[in-house]
Chain A
Amino acid sequence: MTENELIEGLIRHDRNAFRELVGNHRKKVIKTAFYFTQNMEDAEELAQDIFMETIESIKYFRKSSSLSTWIYRITVNKSLNLVRKNKRKKIFSSLEDLFSKKSEAGVQDLREPSHSATKLEENERRALLSQSIRSLPENQRITFILSKYDGLSYKEIAEVMNISISSVESLLHRARLNLQKKLARHFSEYVKK
């Protein structure tokens, strides 16, 4: 099935087109959603929403970019919405914790570990990395994830984000510098302890 046939099929709500769409893009959608949310359950639930949205809005697709780029755009938007929603939830629950005098054990564990930087447990390293990526400005975070995790070219990222290639280069450069700075500062504090 060509891309045009697939799009026509999706507009007609053809079952074979649905199967083709999910078969071709499932892995990419779930993985990208996971890179943003860092939670596989959330990523799978998001994937369902992303495919629903793709089919529902396919009639508005103008074919100025590839279908894949368009699906990436929906994936990034949906993932960022969920991350924002979870962040709001976290703020409310931490406020609740503050009033009920619960300690922020997870955050403290990450800030004040008792062992050497090189001997960090994998889950601690994962938490540190995702915390550092999450703390990047949104556009830097998107370029970093699409480039480093998804392996997209500058041109592809530019199409997904609807910005120029030079903007992508600049955002990615700043994202890498910021991440380096955050991680280097973190490990430098370890060494000094």
Chain B
Amino acid sequence: MECKDIRQNLFGIVENTLSPAFMAEVENHLTSCRECSEILSGFRQTTAIIEKDIAMEPDPFSGTRILQQLESAFFPEQLSERRSYFRILQPALLTLSLIVAILIGHSIGKKGINIIPAASSDQEMESVRSDLFISDFTDEDKTLFLNQ
């Protein structure tokens, strides 16, 4: 087998569509010819890109984009009708949501919010006082402290 036999059958070798006898001769030749071996390896890696391209999937949203374009091309009046409806509805919906927000705010404001609970009874006042650190002093300490 000569080098040209390899180089003229690169696709057949890579796709494995040649006879077993021919493939055996190819194997034999490759063990002794570095150049053919490199060429076949480069060819195999390069044509493997075809398989990658075949496996590639287009963007799943491309279908929606294509349909939108077809709609705007073949039903432009319906699209503009829809747009004009939207043009009227948009400010009306905005005004409505603003009114609802004002009403909610007004009703909350009317009820009032008690953030700090008022100390309503003497008992509560006492409990507050007892929490102060001065209550930790004994009566004797208090006298000493005040006389200083």
Q: Which residues of A contact B (CB under 8 A)?
A: 13, 15, 18-19, 22-23, 26-27, 30-31, 34-35, 40, 43-44, 47-48, 51-52, 55, 116-118, 120, 122, 125-126, 128-129, 148-149, 151, 176-177, 179-181, 183-184, 186-188, 190-192
Q: Are A184 and B10 in contact (CB under 8 A)?
A: yes
Contacts of A31 in B (CB 8 A): 54, 56, 58
Q: Are B67 and A129 in contact (CB under 8 A)?
A: no
**Is B130 an interface residue when CB atoms closer than 8 A count as contact?**
no
**Is B46 an interface residue when CB atoms closer than 8 A count as contact?**
yes
- Chain A nearest CB from B52 CB (Å) reads 8
Q: Are B43 and A187 in contact (CB under 8 A)?
A: yes
Binds A, one of B22-30, B31-39, B85-93, B103-111: B31-39
Given known contacts A51-B70, A149-B53, A149-B54, A118 and B34 CB-to-CB distance under 8 angstroms: no
Q: Are B49 and A129 in contact (CB under 8 A)?
A: yes
The majority secondary structure among interface residues of chain A is helix
Q: Are A30 and B45 in contact (CB under 8 A)?
A: no
Q: Are A22 and B63 in contact (CB under 8 A)?
A: yes
**Is B41 an interface residue when CB atoms closer than 8 A count as contact?**
yes
Once the chains are docked, how many angstroms separate the CA of A181 from the CA of B11? 11
Give the residue of B50, B53, B58, B74 whose beta carbon is less than 8 angstroms from that of A44: B58
Contacts of B54 in A (CB 8 A): 31, 149, 151
Q: Are B43 and A125 in contact (CB under 8 A)?
A: no
Interface size on B, residues (CB 8 A): 34
**Is B7 an interface residue when CB atoms closer than 8 A count as contact?**
yes
**Is B59 an interface residue when CB atoms closer than 8 A count as contact?**
yes
The majority secondary structure among interface residues of chain B is helix
**Is B113 an interface residue when CB atoms closer than 8 A count as contact?**
no
Given known contacts A34-B56, A118-B42, A118-B45, A129 and B62 CB-to-CB distance under 8 angstroms: no
Q: Are B46 and A183 in contact (CB under 8 A)?
A: yes
Q: Are A129 and B46 in contact (CB under 8 A)?
A: yes
Q: Are A190 and B43 in contact (CB under 8 A)?
A: no
Once the chains are docked, how many angstroms separate the CA of A51 from the CA of B69? 10
Once the chains are docked, how many angstroms separate the CA of A184 from the CA of B70? 46
Given known contacts A22-B67, A44-B65, A191-B34, A125 and B59 CB-to-CB distance under 8 angstroms: no
Q: Are B10 and A128 in contact (CB under 8 A)?
A: no
**Is B66 an interface residue when CB atoms closer than 8 A count as contact?**
yes
Once the chains are docked, how many angstroms separate the CA of A18 from the CA of B67? 7
**Is B147 an interface residue when CB atoms closer than 8 A count as contact?**
no
Q: Are A190 and B42 in contact (CB under 8 A)?
A: yes
Q: Are B49 and A125 in contact (CB under 8 A)?
A: yes
Give the residue of A19, A44, A180, A191 whose beta carbon is less than 8 angstroms from that of B59: A44
Q: Which of B55-107 contact A (CB under 8 A)?
A: 56-59, 62-63, 65-67, 69-71, 73-75
Q: Are B70 and A18 in contact (CB under 8 A)?
A: yes
Q: Are B58 and A51 in contact (CB under 8 A)?
A: no
- Chain A nearest CB from B115 CB (Å) reads 58
**Is B8 an interface residue when CB atoms closer than 8 A count as contact?**
yes
